[in-house]
Amino acid sequence: MSAAEPFPPDVVSAVMQHMNTDHADDCRLICQGLGGASAATAATMSGMDAEAMYFTATVDGDQVPVRVPFSAPLTERRQIRAEAARMYREACAALGVTPRPDAS
């Protein structure tokens, strides 16, 4: 683990598990609204580092890699949830979708 990669593999794995299990539709919305994959019909989080979340989006039946940068590099685990919620809210705004009230 370095300053450029502050999150050990077990943390990344836990975040991916949570996003893909509890927020699968949010992953799709993030890819559509912020990741340049507006035609995505599904998406799963495939990784992250200090600067971005990575997804695999399904676009026209193909698996497409999508990188969505954080607003600033992250240095602490507690920042991940806030950034994921920000991404979701901004993606909803970009797509004209009303976000869930609990997305904070």
Condensed to tens digits (0 to 9), the pLDDT of residues 45-70 reads 999 999 999 999 999 999 999 999 99
Asked if residue 17 is part of any domain, the answer here is yes
* Per-residue confidence (pLDDT) for residue 100, from 0 to 100: 87
Asked if residue 52 is part of any domain, the answer here is yes
Domain that holds residue 20: 9-92
Instruction: Please count the structural domains in the chain.
Output: 1
* Per-residue confidence (pLDDT) for residue 2, from 0 to 100: 45
What is the spatial distance between Cα 27 and Cα 23, in angstroms, rounded to a whole number? 6
Asked if residue 66 is part of any domain, the answer here is yes
Residue 44's nearest CA partner among 59, 34, 58, 32 is 58
Residue 28's nearest CA partner among 98, 93, 83, 92 is 92
Asked if residue 2 is part of any domain, the answer here is no
Regions of the chain where pLDDT drops below 70: 1-4, 103-104
User: Which residues have CB under 8 Å from 46's CB, separation 6+?
Assistant: 16, 54, 55, 56, 65
Q: The domain that contains 48 carries what CATH number? A: 3.20.180.10
Asked if residue 78 is part of any domain, the answer here is yes
Q: What is the pTM of this model?
A: 0.91
Asked if residue 54 is part of any domain, the answer here is yes
